[in-house]
Structure 1
Amino acid sequence: MASVTVTADENVHTNGWRQFIFENDAFGVIDPSDDGYSNGVGYAWGKAPIASYDDIDLPNWLKTASDWTYINQGDEGLYTLSYAVVQAMYTPSDLDTPELVEDDRPYAGVLLWHVTMRQFDQNVSRGLSLDLGVVGPASLAEKTQSTIHGVINARDPQGWEHQLENEAVFRIQSEYLHRFANFDIADGLATDASFYGQGSLGNFRSEAGFGLVFRLGTGLEQTYSTINPTGSHSANPYGQISDRGFNWMVYVSAYGGYVLNDITLDGNTFKDSHSVELTHEQGEVSMGVAMRWGSWGLLVSTLRGSKKFEGQIPETDYAGVSISYHY
């Protein structure tokens, strides 16, 4: 069931969407804790599908920068565009001591502005994204985490005075996805498998890796281009279809990669700060369910990952939920 090539001359109905994201390790399925990647909140929005590259509404500086890249395929295939503002909090295991926990990861808060463009056709999707933001007190992560922990009745971390110093961060990321197998099971119900590869570079985080994603559900041929093997960081895949009926999917994924640098573990680039020894080889498995009914969508996922640094005791384990509105 291959996708059909669509050009700008054909009638393409573009959908818009808005999405709220919440992730927390206290909701992890296996050994839930309150450390590591402790909490994340975000607001995302975008449009999909878009008929041609020229129709993508980007700021002029981004349009100029991306014109010469592989993402610009003119009228070939379709495109998606998404933005997000994301805030993430990282903490050590011992949240009760105000002293520096030297053998555990640093307190770190991150605030990012994120933009992603994707071009897809014939079961192949290519993505290009940019993160710009700040790590440190300017991220306001300490205040956000204290508020959220008060709402969910979790411990209030006492060591934020040892968090990383303010530093501007960036990351450029390239993605490639190939939907290499798909099978119809019943009317409207299908299963598929996709290969995912990505590479990123920046002082925020640099890595290269690949994974596999397996899905079961409806509307898979229209939603493969936005799937991701990690948690609910990405948009609800049903944002790009115009069907206002009920659609659903379940997925399971596995991902492995080599991480060259991670500022939340390595510490500040130009200042002395607390740091730990990064584990370069990392992997994770994730599973979840996505659905859409009318204008509303829901994406629920859980992720289990390997250790991120030498001496890490609990495994990486968190769950995420995102609620989206489509128009």
Structure 2
Amino acid sequence: MKFWTLAPLAAVFALPIALRPVPALAQATPDNSSIWTLQDENASISAGTPTDRFYVNGLRLSWFSPTTVVPDFLADLGRTLWGPGELRVGVDLTQQIYTPANTSLSVPDPRDRPYAGVLLGNFSLLGDTEDTRSVFTISVGVVGPGSGAASLQNGFHDLIGQDHANGWDHQISNTPVFNVMHERTWRLPMGKVWGLETDALPSLTAAVGDLRDYIQTGIQFRIGQGLDSDFGVPRVRPGLSGGDVFKPTRPFAWYVFVGGDGQAVGYDLLLNSHPFRGGPHVNPIWDVGELQGGFAVMAYGMRLTFAYVMQTQEFEHQTGGLHQFGSAALSIRF
């Protein structure tokens, strides 16, 4: 049986474990640095053909606070959810663009992925211990023309001399969205190979709302130096994400990684359209799998990461095999 079919089932039984408190950081010292991250994911960074299709682009700007400026009521919530540890609050603005495979048609193929744009404000509470990272996120925003996706895509195509995507008049209409997500990642050291550190990063995610309901579980394996500096590379969710927060434990830290995840998807507005108003839609595939690999480099208070992602079909009649895209992020501590 497929890994991504078994993985969501395992996540259902593992979820109560993920919500249990975990040991605190031993003699943790406050971190007075905030962290800014700029990230872009793009299907043009792909070995697939054609490239500009399905999940086309994800752009994200985020900020995470120092550990010393978390409001008391959020600190109490973090201790209630996860026990003692280092807490931070974060906000980010995310835009995502989705199109069908054939963007030359003025009236899109009804069996192809609908045009959709997403604009989200995400508000997060993050808690770290020596070997776990927990994240609770509330997302609010809009799907539809109000996201600005059509203007951004076609404006960028004008800039680089590419044809417009012609079917944006048929995108999913303006719909307010609200989602809640909880995620935990474990860091499990696995000893040294050729003098380099190795570890595993199993994770479990659950999200519910009117944008996307899903359970995700996955694992990543890393080899490098200074692996205790973070919990893996960031991703625009859904997907395996170690988050934006990093604390370098050596002047130069680096690693390469490979991993995979499985998602059990109950509802996806971007495929199903609005359940009461209708609109363009396709039949989703409930079990979605991803493989990803890449690297991270940390030096001089900065972290540069890259992940190459291959994703199984998300809806019936999806063509072109595995959907592929690249994800790059730069994080800076201030």
TM-score (norm 2): 0.83
TM-aligned CA deviation for residue 78 of structure 1: 1.7
Calculate the aligned-residue CA RMSD, in Å: 2.8
Contact 1:71-1:117 within 8 A present in 2 as well = no
After superposition, the C-alpha distances for 1:258-308 in whole angstroms (9 at most, x for unaligned) are: 100111100123312010001001100111111122133211111100000
Q: Is 1:118 the equivalent of 2:126?
A: yes
TM-aligned CA deviation for residue 165 of structure 1: 0.7
Q: d(CA) in 1 for partners of 2:212 and 2:122?
A: 14
TM-aligned CA deviation for residue 226 of structure 1: 7.2
TM-aligned CA deviation for residue 185 of structure 1: 4.0
Contact 1:21-1:232 within 8 A present in 2 as well = no
Equivalent residue pairs, number: 311
Decide whether aligned partners of structure 1 residues 10 and 307 sit closer, same or farther in structure 2, where only a CA change above 3 A counts: closer
Q: Is 1:277 the equivalent of 2:283?
A: yes
After superposition, the C-alpha distances for 1:16-51 in whole angstroms (9 at most, x for unaligned) are: 121111111011244451110011111111135x27
Amino acid paired to 2:316? E
Q: Counterpart in 2 of 1:288? A: 294
Decide whether aligned partners of structure 1 residues 4 and 130 sit closer, same or farther in structure 2, where only a CA change above 3 A counts: closer
* Structure 1 stretch displaced more, 77-86 or 163-172: 77-86
Q: Counterpart in 2 of 1:240? A: 247
Same amino acid, percent of matched pairs: 23
Q: d(CA) in 2 for partners of 1:157 and 1:232?
A: 29
Contact 2:228-2:249 within 8 A present in 1 as well = no
Amino acid paired to 2:149? A
**1:6 aligned residue (22, 25, 44):** 25
After TM superposition, which residue ranges in structure 1, 4 or more long, deviate above 6 angstroms?
A: 225-233
Equivalent positions of 1:172-187 (< 5 A) are 172-185=180-193
TM-score (norm 1): 0.85
TM-aligned CA deviation for residue 128 of structure 1: 1.2
* Structure 1 stretch displaced more, 216-225 or 304-313: 216-225
Q: Counterpart in 1 of 2:77? A: 67
Q: Is 1:101 the equivalent of 2:109?
A: yes
Amino acid paired to 1:216? I
Q: Is 1:155 the equivalent of 2:163?
A: yes
Q: Is 1:23 the equivalent of 2:41?
A: yes
Contact 2:95-2:149 within 8 A present in 1 as well = yes
SS at structure 2 position matched to 1:15: coil
TM-aligned CA deviation for residue 10 of structure 1: 5.2
Decide whether aligned partners of structure 1 residues 247 and 31 sit closer, same or farther in structure 2, where only a CA change above 3 A counts: farther
Q: Is 1:299 the equivalent of 2:305?
A: yes
Decide whether aligned partners of structure 1 residues 6 and 178 sit closer, same or farther in structure 2, where only a CA change above 3 A counts: closer
* Structure 1 stretch displaced more, 178-187 or 86-95: 178-187
SS at structure 2 position matched to 1:27: coil
Q: d(CA) in 2 for partners of 1:157 and 1:177?
A: 38
Decide whether aligned partners of structure 1 residues 147 and 71 sit closer, same or farther in structure 2, where only a CA change above 3 A counts: farther
Give ranges in structure 2 of 5+ residues lacking alignment: 1-21
Q: Counterpart in 2 of 1:214? A: 221
Q: d(CA) in 1 for partners of 2:308 and 2:110?
A: 29
* Structure 1 stretch displaced more, 287-296 or 191-200: 287-296
Decide whether aligned partners of structure 1 residues 45 and 25 sit closer, same or farther in structure 2, where only a CA change above 3 A counts: same
Give ranges in structure 1 of 5+ residues lacking alignment: none
Q: Is 1:268 the equivalent of 2:280?
A: no
Q: Is 1:318 the equivalent of 2:325?
A: yes
Q: d(CA) in 2 for partners of 1:145 and 1:225?
A: 29
